[in-house]
A and B are shown apart, each in its own frame.
Chain A
Protein backbone atom coordinates (compact mmCIF):
# COMPACT_ATOMS: atom_id res chain seq x y z
CA UNK A 1 0.00 0.00 0.00
CA UNK A 2 2.83 2.40 0.79
CA UNK A 3 5.41 0.96 -1.56
CA UNK A 4 5.68 3.99 -3.82
CA UNK A 5 6.30 6.40 -0.99
CA UNK A 6 9.99 7.02 -1.59
CA UNK A 7 9.16 8.49 -4.98
CA UNK A 8 6.72 11.13 -3.80
CA UNK A 9 8.15 14.52 -3.10
CA UNK A 10 6.88 16.39 -0.09
CA UNK A 11 3.90 18.22 -1.44
CA UNK A 12 0.92 19.73 0.23
CA UNK A 13 -2.28 20.49 -1.67
CA UNK A 14 -2.83 24.13 -2.45
CA UNK A 15 -6.20 24.30 -0.79
CA UNK A 16 -4.72 23.40 2.58
CA UNK A 17 -3.36 25.94 4.97
CA UNK A 18 0.15 27.11 4.20
CA UNK A 19 1.38 26.34 7.71
CA UNK A 20 2.08 22.66 7.83
CA UNK A 21 4.19 21.13 10.52
CA UNK A 22 6.73 18.44 9.76
CA UNK A 23 4.64 15.72 11.30
CA UNK A 24 1.61 16.77 9.24
CA UNK A 25 3.76 16.90 6.15
CA UNK A 26 4.86 13.30 6.78
CA UNK A 27 1.23 12.20 6.86
CA UNK A 28 0.40 14.08 3.65
CA UNK A 29 3.36 12.38 2.01
CA UNK A 30 2.17 9.01 3.24
CA UNK A 31 -1.35 9.66 1.91
CA UNK A 32 0.13 10.69 -1.44
CA UNK A 33 1.04 7.02 -1.87
CA UNK A 34 -2.47 5.66 -1.24
CA UNK A 35 -4.07 4.95 -4.62
CA UNK A 36 -7.69 5.49 -5.57
CA UNK A 37 -9.16 1.99 -6.05
CA UNK A 38 -10.97 2.85 -9.29
CA UNK A 39 -8.30 5.01 -10.90
CA UNK A 40 -5.11 3.64 -9.29
CA UNK A 41 -2.90 6.08 -11.16
CA UNK A 42 -4.30 8.77 -8.85
CA UNK A 43 -3.59 9.01 -5.15
CA UNK A 44 -6.28 10.05 -2.71
CA UNK A 45 -4.42 13.35 -2.35
CA UNK A 46 -4.38 13.92 -6.15
CA UNK A 47 -8.15 13.41 -6.13
CA UNK A 48 -8.61 16.11 -3.52
CA UNK A 49 -10.57 13.91 -1.16
CA UNK A 50 -8.21 14.30 1.80
CA UNK A 51 -9.53 17.44 3.46
CA UNK A 52 -7.41 17.78 6.57
CA UNK A 53 -4.61 16.26 8.60
CA UNK A 54 -4.36 17.49 12.16
CA UNK A 55 -3.71 16.46 15.71
CA UNK A 56 -6.17 16.95 18.52
CA UNK A 57 -5.45 16.75 22.21
CA UNK A 58 -3.47 18.96 24.54
CA UNK A 59 -0.69 18.93 27.10
CA UNK A 60 -2.40 16.55 29.49
CA UNK A 61 -3.88 14.24 26.85
CA UNK A 62 -2.17 12.18 24.22
CA UNK A 63 -2.59 13.77 20.82
CA UNK A 64 -4.63 11.93 18.24
CA UNK A 65 -4.22 12.16 14.50
CA UNK A 66 -7.37 13.10 12.55
CA UNK A 67 -7.59 12.63 8.79
CA UNK A 68 -10.68 14.10 7.13
CA UNK A 69 -11.92 12.63 3.86
CA UNK A 70 -14.84 13.58 1.65
CA UNK A 71 -16.70 11.44 -0.89
CA UNK A 72 -16.57 12.41 -4.56
CA UNK A 73 -20.18 11.27 -5.12
CA UNK A 74 -22.63 10.45 -2.29
CA UNK A 75 -23.01 6.87 -3.41
CA UNK A 76 -19.51 6.17 -4.69
CA UNK A 77 -18.77 2.59 -3.56
CA UNK A 78 -15.05 3.37 -3.63
CA UNK A 79 -15.42 5.63 -0.60
CA UNK A 80 -15.36 2.74 1.85
CA UNK A 81 -12.43 1.08 0.10
CA UNK A 82 -10.58 4.39 0.23
CA UNK A 83 -11.24 4.73 3.93
CA UNK A 84 -9.94 1.22 4.49
CA UNK A 85 -6.84 1.86 2.37
CA UNK A 86 -6.07 5.03 4.29
CA UNK A 87 -6.54 3.30 7.64
CA UNK A 88 -4.28 0.46 6.55
CA UNK A 89 -1.59 2.85 5.34
CA UNK A 90 -1.75 4.80 8.61
CA UNK A 91 -1.62 1.58 10.65
CA UNK A 92 1.43 0.34 8.79
CA UNK A 93 3.27 3.55 9.54
CA UNK A 94 2.42 3.32 13.22
CA UNK A 95 -0.47 5.78 13.39
CA UNK A 96 -2.62 3.11 14.97
CA UNK A 97 -4.90 5.51 16.88
CA UNK A 98 -5.57 7.73 13.89
CA UNK A 99 -9.19 8.67 13.30
CA UNK A 100 -10.40 8.84 9.70
CA UNK A 101 -13.45 11.10 9.69
CA UNK A 102 -15.97 12.16 7.06
CA UNK A 103 -16.21 15.74 5.94
CA UNK A 104 -19.22 16.58 3.80
CA UNK A 105 -19.00 20.34 3.61
CA UNK A 106 -17.94 21.97 1.40
CA UNK A 107 -18.90 19.28 -1.12
CA UNK A 108 -16.15 17.74 -3.24
CA UNK A 109 -15.57 19.41 -6.57
CA UNK A 110 -13.62 18.19 -9.57
CA UNK A 111 -11.77 21.53 -9.28
CA UNK A 112 -9.96 19.97 -6.32
CA UNK A 113 -8.14 17.57 -8.55
CA UNK A 114 -4.49 18.64 -8.30
CA UNK A 115 -2.48 19.67 -11.36
CA UNK A 116 -0.42 16.54 -10.89
CA UNK A 117 -3.65 14.56 -10.76
CA UNK A 118 -4.81 16.09 -14.05
CA UNK A 119 -1.51 15.19 -15.70
CA UNK A 120 -1.70 11.62 -14.39
CA UNK A 121 -5.26 11.23 -15.67
CA UNK A 122 -4.27 12.48 -19.10
CA UNK A 123 -1.34 10.07 -19.36
CA UNK A 124 -3.58 7.23 -18.13
CA UNK A 125 -5.97 7.88 -21.04
CA UNK A 126 -8.73 9.67 -19.12
CA UNK A 127 -9.56 13.22 -20.18
CA UNK A 128 -9.37 15.51 -17.13
CA UNK A 129 -12.41 17.70 -16.35
CA UNK A 130 -12.84 20.77 -18.55
CA UNK A 131 -13.14 24.02 -16.66
CA UNK A 132 -16.41 25.18 -18.15
CA UNK A 133 -19.41 23.18 -17.07
CA UNK A 134 -22.04 23.07 -19.76
CA UNK A 135 -25.59 24.20 -19.10
CA UNK A 136 -27.46 21.69 -16.95
CA UNK A 137 -30.53 22.43 -19.01
CA UNK A 138 -29.69 21.23 -22.48
CA UNK A 139 -29.24 17.73 -23.77
CA UNK A 140 -27.03 18.38 -26.78
CA UNK A 141 -24.70 20.80 -25.07
CA UNK A 142 -21.93 18.57 -23.78
CA UNK A 143 -18.59 20.20 -22.86
CA UNK A 144 -15.91 20.21 -25.55
CA UNK A 145 -13.46 17.55 -24.38
CA UNK A 146 -9.95 17.00 -25.71
CA UNK A 147 -8.98 13.46 -26.69
CA UNK A 148 -6.34 12.24 -24.21
CA UNK A 149 -4.64 10.17 -26.94
CA UNK A 150 -4.37 12.46 -29.99
CA UNK A 151 -5.32 15.84 -28.44
CA UNK A 152 -8.05 16.41 -31.02
CA UNK A 153 -11.00 18.55 -29.98
CA UNK A 154 -13.21 16.61 -32.39
CA UNK A 155 -14.83 14.37 -29.81
CA UNK A 156 -18.37 13.36 -29.03
CA UNK A 157 -20.15 12.15 -25.94
CA UNK A 158 -21.33 8.56 -26.06
CA UNK A 159 -22.83 8.47 -22.59
CA UNK A 160 -23.30 11.00 -19.82
CA UNK A 161 -22.47 8.21 -17.37
CA UNK A 162 -19.56 5.82 -17.41
CA UNK A 163 -17.96 2.94 -15.56
CA UNK A 164 -17.73 4.86 -12.27
CA UNK A 165 -19.82 7.78 -10.92
CA UNK A 166 -17.07 10.29 -11.71
CA UNK A 167 -16.70 9.45 -15.41
CA UNK A 168 -18.57 9.94 -18.69
CA UNK A 169 -17.93 8.04 -21.89
CA UNK A 170 -16.58 9.82 -25.01
CA UNK A 171 -15.29 8.98 -28.46
CA UNK A 172 -12.71 10.78 -30.55
CA UNK A 173 -13.87 11.34 -34.12
CA UNK A 174 -10.26 11.99 -35.28
CA UNK A 175 -8.42 8.92 -34.01
CA UNK A 176 -11.68 7.00 -33.44
CA UNK A 177 -10.62 5.80 -29.98
CA UNK A 178 -13.21 5.69 -27.21
CA UNK A 179 -12.10 7.19 -23.90
CA UNK A 180 -13.30 8.13 -20.42
CA UNK A 181 -13.84 11.72 -19.39
CA UNK A 182 -13.56 12.71 -15.74
CA UNK A 183 -16.77 14.71 -15.22
CA UNK A 184 -17.09 18.18 -13.78
CA UNK A 185 -18.96 18.24 -10.52
Chain B
Protein backbone atom coordinates (compact mmCIF):
# COMPACT_ATOMS: atom_id res chain seq x y z
CA UNK B 1 0.00 0.00 0.00
CA UNK B 2 1.60 3.26 -0.99
CA UNK B 3 1.50 5.89 1.64
CA UNK B 4 1.13 9.12 -0.26
CA UNK B 5 -1.52 8.07 -2.73
CA UNK B 6 -4.09 7.23 -0.08
CA UNK B 7 -3.47 9.90 2.47
CA UNK B 8 -6.49 11.62 3.82
CA UNK B 9 -6.43 15.30 3.13
CA UNK B 10 -8.46 17.81 5.07
CA UNK B 11 -11.79 18.32 3.36
CA UNK B 12 -11.76 14.96 1.59
CA UNK B 13 -14.90 12.91 1.08
CA UNK B 14 -14.83 10.94 4.30
CA UNK B 15 -18.07 11.07 6.19
CA UNK B 16 -18.36 13.09 9.38
CA UNK B 17 -18.89 9.81 11.21
CA UNK B 18 -15.58 8.44 9.92
CA UNK B 19 -13.70 11.67 10.57
CA UNK B 20 -15.06 11.82 14.09
CA UNK B 21 -13.77 8.30 14.78
CA UNK B 22 -10.38 9.27 13.35
CA UNK B 23 -10.27 12.27 15.69
CA UNK B 24 -10.93 10.09 18.73
CA UNK B 25 -8.64 7.30 17.57
CA UNK B 26 -5.78 9.58 16.53
CA UNK B 27 -5.92 11.46 19.82
CA UNK B 28 -5.58 8.18 21.72
CA UNK B 29 -2.86 6.89 19.41
CA UNK B 30 -0.73 10.04 19.49
CA UNK B 31 -1.06 10.42 23.25
CA UNK B 32 -0.29 6.71 23.68
CA UNK B 33 2.84 7.04 21.53
CA UNK B 34 3.97 10.08 23.53
CA UNK B 35 3.60 8.16 26.79
CA UNK B 36 5.47 5.20 25.31
CA UNK B 37 8.46 7.54 24.80
CA UNK B 38 8.78 7.54 28.60
CA UNK B 39 9.45 3.82 28.84
CA UNK B 40 12.84 3.33 30.42
CA UNK B 41 13.17 7.06 31.22
CA UNK B 42 10.65 7.70 33.99
CA UNK B 43 11.70 9.15 37.36
CA UNK B 44 10.94 5.87 39.14
CA UNK B 45 10.09 2.31 38.17
CA UNK B 46 6.50 2.66 39.41
CA UNK B 47 5.94 5.68 37.18
CA UNK B 48 7.55 3.88 34.26
CA UNK B 49 5.02 1.08 34.71
CA UNK B 50 2.20 3.57 35.16
CA UNK B 51 2.92 5.56 32.03
CA UNK B 52 3.48 2.37 30.00
CA UNK B 53 0.14 1.00 31.18
CA UNK B 54 -1.66 4.21 30.25
CA UNK B 55 0.03 4.09 26.88
CA UNK B 56 -1.05 0.52 26.31
CA UNK B 57 -4.68 1.27 27.13
CA UNK B 58 -4.68 4.29 24.83
CA UNK B 59 -3.15 2.36 21.94
CA UNK B 60 -5.69 -0.40 22.52
CA UNK B 61 -8.52 2.15 22.34
CA UNK B 62 -6.96 3.61 19.20
CA UNK B 63 -6.91 0.19 17.54
CA UNK B 64 -10.63 -0.30 18.15
CA UNK B 65 -11.48 3.20 16.92
CA UNK B 66 -9.19 3.20 13.88
CA UNK B 67 -10.29 -0.27 12.76
CA UNK B 68 -13.86 0.97 12.85
CA UNK B 69 -12.96 4.19 11.02
CA UNK B 70 -11.20 2.13 8.34
CA UNK B 71 -14.30 -0.01 7.82
CA UNK B 72 -16.52 3.06 7.51
CA UNK B 73 -14.09 4.62 5.07
CA UNK B 74 -14.36 1.51 2.90
CA UNK B 75 -11.01 1.84 1.15
CA UNK B 76 -9.54 -1.28 2.64
CA UNK B 77 -7.37 0.49 5.17
CA UNK B 78 -7.06 -1.24 8.51
CA UNK B 79 -5.72 0.05 11.81
CA UNK B 80 -2.09 -0.46 10.76
CA UNK B 81 -2.42 1.39 7.46
CA UNK B 82 -4.11 4.26 9.23
CA UNK B 83 -1.54 4.40 12.01
CA UNK B 84 1.65 3.87 10.03
CA UNK B 85 1.01 5.09 6.50
CA UNK B 86 -0.63 8.48 6.89
CA UNK B 87 1.30 11.71 6.95
CA UNK B 88 0.84 14.37 9.61
CA UNK B 89 -1.85 16.42 7.78
CA UNK B 90 -4.02 13.30 7.63
CA UNK B 91 -3.90 12.84 11.41
CA UNK B 92 -6.91 14.37 13.12
CA UNK B 93 -5.81 14.28 16.77
CA UNK B 94 -6.23 17.12 19.22
CA UNK B 95 -3.17 19.39 19.11
CA UNK B 96 -2.64 19.00 22.86
CA UNK B 97 -2.01 15.26 22.51
CA UNK B 98 1.02 15.73 20.23
CA UNK B 99 2.82 18.23 22.47
CA UNK B 100 6.22 16.91 23.55
CA UNK B 101 6.61 15.19 26.91
CA UNK B 102 9.02 17.69 28.44
CA UNK B 103 9.70 16.63 32.02
CA UNK B 104 7.46 14.43 34.16
CA UNK B 105 5.51 17.45 35.42
CA UNK B 106 4.65 18.60 31.94
CA UNK B 107 3.60 15.09 30.92
CA UNK B 108 1.30 14.91 33.96
CA UNK B 109 -0.32 18.27 33.14
CA UNK B 110 -1.01 17.21 29.54
CA UNK B 111 -2.35 13.87 30.78
CA UNK B 112 -4.67 15.43 33.33
CA UNK B 113 -6.21 17.82 30.82
CA UNK B 114 -6.80 15.02 28.31
CA UNK B 115 -7.90 12.37 30.83
CA UNK B 116 -10.57 14.77 32.10
CA UNK B 117 -11.66 15.33 28.50
CA UNK B 118 -11.80 11.61 27.71
CA UNK B 119 -13.78 10.95 30.90
CA UNK B 120 -16.55 13.27 29.71
CA UNK B 121 -16.43 12.19 26.08
CA UNK B 122 -16.45 8.44 26.76
CA UNK B 123 -19.16 8.74 29.42
CA UNK B 124 -21.38 10.50 26.88
CA UNK B 125 -20.44 8.15 24.03
CA UNK B 126 -21.52 5.14 26.10
CA UNK B 127 -25.06 6.29 25.20
CA UNK B 128 -24.30 6.81 21.52
CA UNK B 129 -26.83 5.74 18.90
CA UNK B 130 -23.87 3.99 17.29
CA UNK B 131 -23.84 0.72 19.24
CA UNK B 132 -20.29 -0.20 18.27
CA UNK B 133 -18.90 3.17 19.33
CA UNK B 134 -20.94 2.93 22.55
CA UNK B 135 -19.35 -0.42 23.36
CA UNK B 136 -15.83 0.92 22.69
CA UNK B 137 -16.55 3.90 24.96
CA UNK B 138 -18.03 1.73 27.73
CA UNK B 139 -14.80 -0.28 27.69
CA UNK B 140 -12.54 2.75 27.49
CA UNK B 141 -14.12 4.71 30.32
CA UNK B 142 -13.26 2.04 32.86
CA UNK B 143 -9.62 2.37 31.86
CA UNK B 144 -9.75 6.16 31.73
CA UNK B 145 -10.89 6.33 35.37
CA UNK B 146 -7.62 4.66 36.32
CA UNK B 147 -5.68 7.10 34.12
CA UNK B 148 -7.35 10.07 35.77
CA UNK B 149 -6.64 8.70 39.22
CA UNK B 150 -2.97 8.43 38.29
CA UNK B 151 -2.63 11.81 36.59
CA UNK B 152 -4.77 13.86 38.98
CA UNK B 153 -3.05 12.20 41.96
CA UNK B 154 0.32 13.23 40.62
CA UNK B 155 -0.86 16.74 39.78
CA UNK B 156 -1.91 17.21 43.41
CA UNK B 157 1.35 15.76 44.74
CA UNK B 158 3.47 17.95 42.52
CA UNK B 159 1.38 21.11 42.74
CA UNK B 160 1.02 20.87 46.50
CA UNK B 161 4.56 19.59 46.97
CA UNK B 162 7.72 21.66 47.06
CA UNK B 163 8.27 25.09 45.59
CA UNK B 164 10.23 23.44 42.79
CA UNK B 165 7.61 20.78 41.99
CA UNK B 166 4.85 23.42 42.12
CA UNK B 167 6.69 25.60 39.62
CA UNK B 168 7.29 22.65 37.32
CA UNK B 169 3.57 21.94 36.91
CA UNK B 170 2.31 25.54 37.01
CA UNK B 171 4.60 26.56 34.14
CA UNK B 172 3.55 23.79 31.72
CA UNK B 173 -0.07 24.39 32.76
CA UNK B 174 0.31 28.01 31.69
CA UNK B 175 1.96 26.94 28.47
CA UNK B 176 -0.39 24.07 27.50
CA UNK B 177 -3.62 25.83 28.45
CA UNK B 178 -3.85 27.49 25.04
CA UNK B 179 -4.49 24.07 23.47
CA UNK B 180 -7.59 23.39 25.58
CA UNK B 181 -9.93 25.64 23.56
CA UNK B 182 -9.84 23.06 20.79
CA UNK B 183 -11.17 20.33 23.11
CA UNK B 184 -14.65 21.87 23.14
CA UNK B 185 -14.80 23.94 19.94
CA UNK B 186 -17.20 22.00 17.71
CA UNK B 187 -16.91 22.32 13.94
CA UNK B 188 -19.16 20.93 11.21
CA UNK B 189 -17.96 17.36 11.83
CA UNK B 190 -18.90 17.41 15.50
CA UNK B 191 -22.15 19.28 14.77
CA UNK B 192 -23.15 16.59 12.32
CA UNK B 193 -22.37 13.59 14.55
CA UNK B 194 -24.07 15.33 17.49
CA UNK B 195 -27.19 15.95 15.42
CA UNK B 196 -27.26 12.25 14.52
CA UNK B 197 -26.97 11.25 18.18
CA UNK B 198 -23.63 9.57 17.51
CA UNK B 199 -21.67 11.93 19.72
CA UNK B 200 -22.39 14.45 22.49
CA UNK B 201 -22.49 18.20 21.98
CA UNK B 202 -19.09 19.43 23.08
CA UNK B 203 -20.51 22.61 24.57
CA UNK B 204 -22.48 20.47 27.01
CA UNK B 205 -19.35 18.66 28.17
CA UNK B 206 -17.25 21.75 28.69
CA UNK B 207 -18.73 22.88 32.07
CA UNK B 208 -18.22 19.42 33.59
CA UNK B 209 -14.64 19.25 32.36
CA UNK B 210 -14.02 22.74 33.64
CA UNK B 211 -15.45 21.95 37.09
CA UNK B 212 -13.39 18.77 37.34
CA UNK B 213 -10.21 20.60 36.37
CA UNK B 214 -10.94 23.49 38.74
CA UNK B 215 -11.42 21.07 41.61
CA UNK B 216 -8.10 19.32 41.04
CA UNK B 217 -6.25 22.60 40.43
CA UNK B 218 -7.54 23.92 43.72
CA UNK B 219 -6.42 20.79 45.56
CA UNK B 220 -3.05 21.10 43.84
CA UNK B 221 -2.82 24.81 44.79
CA UNK B 222 -2.38 25.66 41.11
CA UNK B 223 -3.77 28.71 39.35
CA UNK B 224 -6.02 28.25 36.36
CA UNK B 225 -4.58 30.25 33.45
CA UNK B 226 -6.68 32.82 31.63
CA UNK B 227 -8.40 31.73 28.43
CA UNK B 228 -6.55 32.61 25.27
CA UNK B 229 -8.63 33.64 22.25
CA UNK B 230 -6.81 31.51 19.74
CA UNK B 231 -7.71 28.06 18.53
CA UNK B 232 -5.57 25.24 17.21
CA UNK B 233 -6.79 22.87 14.55
CA UNK B 234 -5.10 19.51 15.01
CA UNK B 235 -8.45 17.80 14.55
CA UNK B 236 -8.68 19.39 11.11
CA UNK B 237 -5.21 18.14 10.22
CA UNK B 238 -3.34 21.37 10.93
CA UNK B 239 -0.64 20.50 13.43
CA UNK B 240 2.25 21.97 15.35
CA UNK B 241 5.69 20.99 14.08
CA UNK B 242 5.99 18.32 16.79
CA UNK B 243 3.68 15.73 15.23
CA UNK B 244 5.82 15.12 12.15
CA UNK B 245 8.88 14.37 14.26
CA UNK B 246 6.90 11.99 16.42
CA UNK B 247 5.49 10.17 13.39
CA UNK B 248 8.94 9.87 11.83
CA UNK B 249 9.93 7.66 14.72
CA UNK B 250 6.61 5.87 15.10
CA UNK B 251 6.27 5.07 11.40
CA UNK B 252 9.90 4.47 10.53
CA UNK B 253 9.75 0.68 10.42
CA UNK B 254 6.62 0.40 8.28
CA UNK B 255 7.82 3.16 5.96
CA UNK B 256 11.18 1.49 5.47
CA UNK B 257 9.90 -2.10 5.26
CA UNK B 258 6.27 -1.82 4.13
CA UNK B 259 4.12 -4.67 5.42
CA UNK B 260 6.84 -5.96 7.73
CA UNK B 261 5.57 -8.29 10.45
CA UNK B 262 7.02 -10.33 13.24
Q: Tell me whether A139 and B46 are in contact (CB under 8 A).
A: no
Contacts of A71 in B (CB 8 A): 60, 139
Q: Which residue of A lies closest to B146 (CB)?
A: A160
Contacts of B53 in A (CB 8 A): 161, 165
Q: Which residue of B lies closest to A185 (CB)?
A: B142
Q: Which residue of A lies closest to B45 (CB)?
A: A159
Report Cα–Cα, A137/B32, bound state, in Å: 22
The answer to whether the Cβ of B59 comes within 8 Å of any Cβ in the partner chain is: yes
Q: Tell me whether A136 and B138 are in contact (CB under 8 A).
A: no
Q: Tell me whether B149 and A107 are in contact (CB under 8 A).
A: no
Report Cα–Cα, A109/B139, bound state, in Å: 9
Q: Tell me whether A74 and B149 are in contact (CB under 8 A).
A: no
Within 8 Å by CB of B56, from A75, A107, A137, A158, lies A75
Q: Tell me whether B157 and A74 are in contact (CB under 8 A).
A: no
Q: Is the interface of A mostly helix, strand, loop or mixed?
A: loop
Report Cα–Cα, A160/B136, bound state, in Å: 23
Interface size on A, residues (CB 8 A): 26
Report Cα–Cα, A107/B150, bound state, in Å: 21
The answer to whether the Cβ of B120 comes within 8 Å of any Cβ in the partner chain is: no
A160 in contact with B149 given A75-B57, A75-B59, A105-B135 (CB within 8 Å): yes
Q: Tell me whether B148 and A136 are in contact (CB under 8 A).
A: yes
Q: Tell me whether A161 and B46 are in contact (CB under 8 A).
A: yes
Report Cα–Cα, A73/B144, bound state, in Å: 11
State the Cβ distance, B67 to closest chain A Cβ, in Å: 10
Q: Which residue of B lies closest to A162 (CB)?
A: B49
The answer to whether the Cβ of A76 comes within 8 Å of any Cβ in the partner chain is: yes
Q: Tell me whether A107 and B138 are in contact (CB under 8 A).
A: yes
Report Cα–Cα, A162/B50, bound state, in Å: 8
Q: Tell me whether A136 and B56 are in contact (CB under 8 A).
A: no
Q: Tell me whether B46 and A74 are in contact (CB under 8 A).
A: no
State the Cβ distance, B129 to closest chain A Cβ, in Å: 14
Within 8 Å by CB of B60, from A75, A109, A158, A183, lies A75
Contacts of B54 in A (CB 8 A): 161
Q: Tell me whether A139 and B157 are in contact (CB under 8 A).
A: yes
Contacts of A109 in B (CB 8 A): 142
The answer to whether the Cβ of B79 comes within 8 Å of any Cβ in the partner chain is: no
Within 8 Å by CB of A104, from B32, B59, B64, B145, lies B64
Q: Which residue of A lies closest to B215 (CB)?
A: A137
Q: Tell me whether A105 and B138 are in contact (CB under 8 A).
A: yes
Within 8 Å by CB of B135, from A104, A138, A158, lies A104
Which residues in chain B, 22-63, are within 8 Å of chain A measured between CB atoms? 32, 45-46, 49-50, 52-61, 63
The answer to whether the Cβ of B250 comes within 8 Å of any Cβ in the partner chain is: no
Which residues in chain A, 122-166, are within 8 Å of chain B measured between CB atoms? 136-139, 158-163, 165
Report Cα–Cα, A76/B152, bound state, in Å: 23
Contacts of A136 in B (CB 8 A): 145-146, 148-149
The answer to whether the Cβ of B143 comes within 8 Å of any Cβ in the partner chain is: yes
Which residues in chain A, 71-113, are within 8 Å of chain B measured between CB atoms? 71, 73-77, 104-109
Q: Tell me whether B49 and A163 are in contact (CB under 8 A).
A: yes
Q: Tell me whether A106 and B57 are in contact (CB under 8 A).
A: no
The answer to whether the Cβ of B134 comes within 8 Å of any Cβ in the partner chain is: yes
Q: Tell me whether B50 and A75 are in contact (CB under 8 A).
A: no
Contacts of B132 in A (CB 8 A): 104
Q: 11 interchain pairs (CB within 8 A)?
A: A75-B32, A105-B131, A105-B135, A107-B142, A138-B153, A161-B46, A162-B49, A165-B53, A165-B56, A169-B49, A185-B146
The 4 A-B pairs of least Cβ separation, nearest first, read A75-B60, A74-B60, A139-B153, A105-B135
- A residues lining the B interface (CB < 8 Å): 71, 73-77, 104-109, 136-139, 158-163, 165, 169, 183, 185
Known: A73-B60, A74-B64, A159-B46. 16 other contacts (CB 8 A): A73-B56, A74-B57, A75-B32, A75-B55, A105-B131, A108-B139, A109-B142, A159-B45, A159-B50, A160-B146, A161-B46, A161-B49, A161-B53, A165-B53, A169-B46, A169-B49
